[in-house]
Structure 1
């Protein structure tokens, strides 16, 4: 056992929900300690682990990369402790509960009786976790925007826990047991809803430039801060704007936004039809990537295409992906199609369908499935490096998925002006995200200004733009990861000596590393 192994064991023990979602055995009977004492004890321990691991001498290049990956993670969490999410936002509590209840039943890596046993044990912890949420939220730090997002999600808990979750249990006796266990948890959520409805928050969601830049440099290892990233986003937007005008001209429009508006009118008629068309496009992308030899496919990989779960719908307006647990033997993932929340009007549903038009579907299916997230995360699950299965950054994971959209374009997958324009629209959307996220958190843009920017500088409906901006406020530094990571991966590819398939297998198989470490993994000094 090395010091790094000791840290990984500590991490899994202290984060039982993450451990379970990663596929580690022995952690699925508890939600963990969400009290103030629990959070502060972990923060002190993380500072000590950072000190000890900074002095650790690795035995090989792979060990060095693993150590530096863990150090980047620890530097990030130590920096973020200055701006504690657990005091400002209900999300750490709610996300932990929903994720820990939903994913095991979705992935079904164990017999149904074992899944119900574990769920019943976790449900017993829910009242204490939500009590800690009420106790820990600080009115002076918590943001009204973040509290309202949490309230919207908390309102979905009762039907999710007492109806949706048990409906997936086939055995009648086990289903009844789960329903009984869910009721006290649902009551605790009812109490939290009442609490949040009356909670007066006076804090801000803005991270500020200093911490934002610290995370870019020390956690993401990018070598530059928020202002430089903002400028990169503006430059990328301008370059893409020129290219999109040219493609729009081939469609008979002088402006690409007008062309995209027209393309968005061609969309599936219903949410279920949207799911079915995404499923067909997903497997077309798989066949194309295989036929072109772009990547090596892992044995046993499988990607299902399903409606997004109910508890996600108030928070996420775009497609997303649930990966196979990397510490398990599973290679099965789920591409979630962005259904609207219950109660949306016909017009709101229509707008969601428009932002998943038939021209846009090829790019989105490539991004979420083949050879994007699903292929990458199924492939990297075969890595022998435990640290890289546990820790990964969106600057690689999301960067990879956008990078392969460009690769598929280069290979001829987007073979009409319509799908080419939609592909570029997906890319300019990510450039707009860089501009907006940095401006929001550095105090240079208001929420209405951000919503207008996303609705006019990318092809988003006003409703989807509002949902996107709410996400950026709640999740600083994540939105720029897509295009930032894609551009960095392209630079690594330019310096790589070998064919495209070997590059893809090597860099994606190295994990989801900060980009400087990814370069070291495939182009050793």
Structure 2
């Protein structure tokens, strides 16, 4: 989900707060400037503002106005500092990383000066989410991201979607593509200067990604330029593309042959930081040990359900044998993307036909190949967010399909992973009523914080809630559908065990991969892609099961309170409408919305 991004992304985009320093200025005219003591006081406040405390907050007539002013300043870049360098992609520099932490500290000082006791419930919730985001921005400085993450210096992901889609880029978009291709060379040079003993796993992943980008900048992009780019831009685009392709070869060779790697498990963040994230950022009542314990409990429960279903399907076989047979029922080569599209369309029709939830209009969902930078970590599919095309919100559904360089064995393994049962469940999880619907509702939000930042525990918790909801609504039509649903839940419960274990030293990378293969029944390549992703995104993997369980608890609480008045349609629309929040804040926001229906106003918690 957008908003709750990996701590260690394999590729990176522009940091949201990287804007010029917003100039503070004195108001012109007006009686407020006439008394000398007010002039002196205001001058002092301006000086304080330069240190991170805006005078606007002091002159606000209420904490609500002060908070609104703070948010305007923050999202307009008033607190952001950036390097004086004019080099392309200067935000990738180690200096920029330090300045981001300083900027967040300045913003935190002003945020904490606001009297939260006088804020409304929604404002208080937004304040808490903002505080958590800023605390993480400050704390993450200790991770030394510019030195340790080679993948962030591969910046071509921004152009992949523009070039790969059916509609050709406009002339203006081609100019932006040319700039991105040029900037990519500068980014790789920055990486060569800054990288210092990164984790070997991340080096290998980046080498593989660079090779895929080399391929993309070869025949696929060259053909697209020759057939779709304006004549006046074509020579420059072709020249820049070839120069960047060669730069990718050099960067890949540098990573493989020259750069000294760090320790094998140096991607782990450690127990103290992991527990801090759970408590301070995600607002969860768990530490890593408790999370692992909860994971085992849910894992064993789910395995029993899976065994029971497998026995009903074929009493003579184990659940693993039944799963292996399910994997043999898959699309033919070249048919994976279409299979996802068919199931997504069927899910949308069910939502409309049964009036399960309102779908904001207009909208559409497109199916595109998973970008090269994500293929190492997205074994099946993923949601790529919404862009506006021809004034229509357009979701991007990434599909990890077969690619030409795969061997026959790799093709067979990919087809078995992308079996029809799993495709049915993933299609609704990523599309309707999963992440695509979630994002459509998020676009409607007027809450500045919630529309810009998010929580993976809400995002992925909703995805699993959608799977369960659609099961109750009759979406799963075959035994493969139901089997895949439980098999995928077993996979998600394993995540709750594995993620905290690998980051706190309780489990090695290889042990985690074997756990997925032997305990869950994943294909080896899929298991590796899973664990690769967890190394880059601590605390995200448990969010599916934990988020789903908390949403189900909230629904049951409201069902008990409302009795026959309870409507699941109202519940899901309320949940989607309050925005992307950490679970504890989400529960407060939903309870507050329901407070009037229950005949009471929910007090600030």
Structure 2-normalised TM-score?
0.79
- 2:190 corresponds to which residue? 132
Counterpart CA distance in 2 for 1:118 and 1:507 is 38
Shift of the 287–327 alpha-carbon distance from structure 1 to 2, 3 Å rule, reads closer
After TM superposition, list the pairs within 5 Å mapping 1:230-245 onto structure 2: 230-245=292-307
Match of 1:195 among 254, 258, 262: 254
- 1:93 corresponds to which residue? 153
8 A Cα contact 2:79 2:103, kept in partner? no
Shift of the 434–11 alpha-carbon distance from structure 1 to 2, 3 Å rule, reads farther
Cα deviation, 1:403-461, whole Å, max 9, x if unaligned, reads 10011112222233332111111111000111111111111112221111101222311
Shift of the 380–115 alpha-carbon distance from structure 1 to 2, 3 Å rule, reads same
Counterpart CA distance in 2 for 1:418 and 1:162 is 40
- 1:154 corresponds to which residue? 210
- 1:24 corresponds to which residue? none
Is residue 2:129 matched to residue 1:72?
A: no
Is residue 2:355 matched to residue 1:293?
A: yes
- 2:569 corresponds to which residue? 501
Counterpart CA distance in 1 for 2:240 and 2:413 is 38
Cα deviation, 1:121-151, whole Å, max 9, x if unaligned, reads 3333222222221222122xx1111111111
Counterpart CA distance in 2 for 1:44 and 1:450 is 37
Cα drift, residue 111 of structure 1: 6.7
Is residue 2:460 matched to residue 1:404?
A: no
Cα deviation, 1:230-261, whole Å, max 9, x if unaligned, reads 11111110110111111111111453222111
Cα deviation, 1:86-114, whole Å, max 9, x if unaligned, reads 221112222xx133223455679997122
Equivalent residue of 2:365, what SS? strand
8 A Cα contact 1:285 1:362, kept in partner? no
After TM superposition, list the pairs within 5 Å mapping 1:484-499 onto structure 2: 484-496=546-558, 497=562, 498-499=566-567
8 A Cα contact 1:47 1:78, kept in partner? yes
Cα drift, residue 341 of structure 1: 4.6
8 A Cα contact 2:213 2:372, kept in partner? no
Match of 1:255 among 310, 315, 318: 318
Is residue 2:328 matched to residue 1:265?
A: yes
Which has the higher Rg, Structure 1 or Structure 2? Answer: 2
After TM superposition, list the pairs within 5 Å mapping 1:455-470 onto structure 2: 455-470=517-532
Counterpart CA distance in 2 for 1:501 and 1:63 is 26
Shift of the 37–491 alpha-carbon distance from structure 1 to 2, 3 Å rule, reads same
Match of 1:279 among 315, 329, 341: 341
8 A Cα contact 1:213 1:226, kept in partner? yes
- 1:393 corresponds to which residue? 455
After TM superposition, list the pairs within 5 Å mapping 1:198-237 onto structure 2: 198=257, 199-203=259-263, 204-237=266-299
Shift of the 522–73 alpha-carbon distance from structure 1 to 2, 3 Å rule, reads same
8 A Cα contact 1:4 1:53, kept in partner? no
Match of 2:542 among 467, 480, 489: 480
Shift of the 485–459 alpha-carbon distance from structure 1 to 2, 3 Å rule, reads same
Counterpart CA distance in 1 for 2:171 and 2:363 is 25
Moved >3 Å (runs of 4+): 11-15, 29-32, 103-111, 161-169, 174-177, 325-330
Cα drift, residue 165 of structure 1: 4.2
After TM superposition, list the pairs within 5 Å mapping 1:390-469 onto structure 2: 390-469=452-531
Shift of the 398–76 alpha-carbon distance from structure 1 to 2, 3 Å rule, reads same
Counterpart CA distance in 1 for 2:590 and 2:247 is 49
- 2:434 corresponds to which residue? 372
Shift of the 351–236 alpha-carbon distance from structure 1 to 2, 3 Å rule, reads same
Equivalent residue of 2:335, what SS? helix
Counterpart CA distance in 1 for 2:212 and 2:339 is 27
8 A Cα contact 1:340 1:349, kept in partner? yes
- 2:201 corresponds to which residue? 145
Counterpart CA distance in 2 for 1:14 and 1:427 is 44
Counterpart CA distance in 2 for 1:2 and 1:104 is 36
Cα drift, residue 118 of structure 1: 2.0
8 A Cα contact 1:319 1:364, kept in partner? yes
8 A Cα contact 2:499 2:538, kept in partner? yes
Aligned length in residues = 507
- Structure 2: 5+ residue runs without aligned partners? 1-67, 593-601
Cα drift, residue 168 of structure 1: 4.7
- 2:597 corresponds to which residue? none
Cα deviation, 1:463-503, whole Å, max 9, x if unaligned, reads 21122222222322221111111111112222235411111
Query: How much is the aligned-residue C-alpha RMSD, in angstroms?
Result: 2.5
8 A Cα contact 1:432 1:458, kept in partner? yes
Shift of the 181–150 alpha-carbon distance from structure 1 to 2, 3 Å rule, reads same
Cα drift, residue 313 of structure 1: 2.4
8 A Cα contact 2:98 2:141, kept in partner? no
Shift of the 467–302 alpha-carbon distance from structure 1 to 2, 3 Å rule, reads same
Equivalent residue of 1:434, what SS? helix
8 A Cα contact 2:291 2:496, kept in partner? yes
Cα drift, residue 164 of structure 1: 3.4
- 1:178 corresponds to which residue? 237
Counterpart CA distance in 2 for 1:493 and 1:108 is 41
Cα drift, residue 309 of structure 1: 2.9
Counterpart CA distance in 2 for 1:283 and 1:158 is 34
